[in-house]
Amino acid sequence: MTYIPHSPLERDEMLATIGVKSLEDLFKDVPAKHRFPQLDLPPALTEMEVAAELQGLADANDSTRELVSFLGAGAYNHYIPSVVDHILRRGEFYTAYTPYQPEVSQGTLQAIFEYQSLMTSLTGMEVSNASHYDGATAVAEAVNMVYAIFRGKRTRVVISPTVHPEYRATLRTYVQGMGLELAGDDPTSDLEASPEALESLVDDNTALVIVQYPDFFGRIYDYTSLIEFAHQKGALVCVAVNPIAMAMLKTPGEMGADIVVGEGQPLGIPLSYGGPYLGFFTTRKQYVHKMAGRLVGETVDSRGQRAYVLTLTAREQHIKRERATSNICTNQGLMALASAVYLSVLGQTGLRQVAELSYHKAHYAAQELSKIKGFGLCFMDPYFHEFSLCCPKPVSELNEHLLEHGILGGYDLGQDYPALKDHMLIAVTEMNTKEEIDALVEVLKEAVND
């Protein structure tokens, strides 16, 4: 079926008004030999049929609803209060577009303004844009921004090997045409080294230093002295953060970071097999003119009412074209709204609770797992809700065994880091009960005793 509302009579009246005989007559500019191809696609289904087909595909998956999940590595299984999706399903929000006409878009505009505010509160920074595609592209846009700030005169970017492997891969793709050199992007380097080890890579040509907090292995560091060192060299620092951890930990803003970005998925956005998620981007006010992406600012309307508009649009592609900082056009509007609703309804108490529950449960899991013979914690540094577990058997083998018991095991770190062969990255959130953690321990115990 289609969603076309025309009756045959209306269609014919319209064709007559246009002055053509048939619908085909409207396509005479299209090269005749390629016009009206027969598409080899399955015949149309009714809504009833398509609902059943999609249900069948969904049922062919084992989701984190059926499995007990200890998988994280950049996407986290947190509880999403009902209210979030109820707001998202308002047609007034999801069937609107970019608020080009502020007189009839104040809902979206005020919601984005509030989102921007919430992100600066979380990260301890001064300004936030209206969002990017995801955490990985937000990191890449940080490089774009810094490239514009230095007008291309500094051409080195230092990135810690403990930044998410897919973020580093995305950045490698983005910089292909930019004439930038990436340093530090080496998974064989010493993963136990302190953040200050990166200092040896920072030189007078370095534009940006990128670190992650907690890092890919869940570890938390105070980056203050690294940031001071980078600043002495004239470089800026970008910290990619987990927003839930920000409820508990010293912010990168307090450490002196220039840019704080991250993946907003943990803030009320379903796992949805990897997307759509939310890239948040915050920085210092002095850089706002070089920041990419949409930005909402406060103003008044002709009736003296407080109102909001897209502002500093002269930075953007539709005006600056090839001289724009970035080509970004859309933001992740609806996902930004989801995170704003989530943060509003949790508030400081709820978000702290989520962070602390995740922290304590992860530490309980780590403690119990490291008691099993042959297992141990890989790193000794403080961590948040994720940790690297050294295993006596290949991770793939252990994960197969866990899956047979309905448990989704951790991420196999050996895929990305040769030195971490047989290491599993385990994530624990408020969703994991003690019973589930104990089951994980029991099944792993049994797996090595087999």
Partner 1 sequence: MTEITLEMQDVKIVEPLIYELSSPGRTGVTFPDSDVPLADLPDDAMLRKELPLPELAEVDVVRHYMHLSTFNYNVDGGFYPLGSCTMKYNPKINEDTARLPGFAFTHPLQPIETVQGNLALMFTLQEWLKEISGFAAVSLQPAAGAHGELTGVLIMRAYHKSRGDAKRIKMLIPDSAHGTNPASSGMSGLEIVQVPSDEKGNVDLNALKEACDETVVGLMLTNPNTLGLFDEHLEEVVKTIHACGGLVYGDGANLNALLGILRPGDVGIDLMHFNLHKTFSTPHGGGGPGSGPVGVAPHLVDFLPAPIVSIVEEGDDDLPPLYGFYDPPKTIGRVKAFHGHFGMHVRAFTYIAMHGPDGLRQIAEYAVLNANYLQARLRGTYPIPYDRICMHEFVAEGRVEGSDIRALDIAKRLMDYNFHPPTNYFPLIVHEALMIEPTETENKRTLDRFAEALVQIAEEAKSNPDLLHDAPHTTPFGRMDEVKAARELVLCCWLPEDYKNQ
Distance CA 302, CA 28 (A): 48
Instruction: Work out whether 52 is an interface residue with partner 1 (CB under 8 A).
Output: no
Q: Residue length, the chain?
A: 450
Q: What are the φ and ψ backbone dihedral angles of 390, each rounded to 5 degrees?
A: -80, 130
Nearest by Cα to 318 from 294, 340, 351: 294
Site for partner 1 in 107-146 (CB under 8 A): 107-108, 110-114, 116-118, 120-122, 126-128, 130-131, 133-137, 144
CB of 244 to partner 1, least distance (A): 12
Find out whether 249 and 384 touch, Cβ atoms under 8 Å. Answer: yes
102/155 Cα distance (integer angstroms): 39
Please tell me whether residue 444 binds partner 1 under the rule CB under 8 A.
Answer: no
Tell me: does residue 166 bind partner 1 (CB under 8 A). Answer: yes
Contact segment (CB under 8 A) with partner 1 among 189-197, 204-212, 230-238, 299-307 equals 299-307
Is residue 252 within the footprint of partner 1 (CB under 8 A)?
Answer: no
Burial tier of 276 (Cβ tally within 10 Å: 0-12, 13-18, 19+): middle
Q: Which two tokens stand for residue 202?
A: 């920072």
Which of the ranges 30-38, 153-161, 192-200, 228-236 carries the binding residues for partner 1, by CB under 8 A?
A: 30-38
- Mask: binding to partner 1, 177-216, rule CB under 8 A, as x and -? xxx-------------------------------------
Q: Which is nearer to partner 1, 47 or 204 (CB)?
A: 47
Residue 272 touches partner 1, criterion: CB under 8 A:
yes
Q: Which stretch binds partner 1 (CB under 8 A): 225-233, 234-242, 287-295, 441-449?
A: 287-295
The answer to whether the beta carbons of residues 161 and 303 sit under 8 Å apart is no
Q: Closer to partner 1 at the Cβ: 234 or 256?
A: 256
Residue 397 lies near partner 1 (rule: CB under 8 A) = no
Which among 65, 79, 74, 55 has a CA at the least distance from the CA of 408? 65
- Of 53-61, 190-198, 226-234, 441-449, the segment contacting partner 1 by CB under 8 A is 53-61
- In this chain, which stretch among 201-209, 230-238, 245-253, 372-380 interacts with partner 1, using CB under 8 A? 245-253
The answer to whether 151 contacts partner 1 (rule: CB under 8 A) is no
CA separation, residue 54 to residues 61, 89, 272 (Å): 11, 20, 15
Least distance CB 235 / partner 1 (angstroms): 21
Rounded Cα distance, 188 and 420, in Å: 10
What is the distance in angstroms between the CA of the first residue and the CA of the last residue of the chain?
Answer: 55
Residue 224 Cβ, how far from partner 1 at the closest point, in Å? 10
CA 19, 22, 25: angle at the middle one, nearest 5? Answer: 75
* Interacting residues with partner 1 between 365 and 384 (CB under 8 A): 367, 382
Residue 153 lies near partner 1 (rule: CB under 8 A): no
Over 113-152, what HEC string results?
A: HHHHHHHHHHHCCCEECCCECCHHHHHHHHHHHHHHHCCC
311 binds partner 1 (CB under 8 A): yes
Interaction of residue 249 with partner 1, rule CB under 8 A: yes
* Shorter beta-carbon distance to partner 1: residue 4 or 450: 4
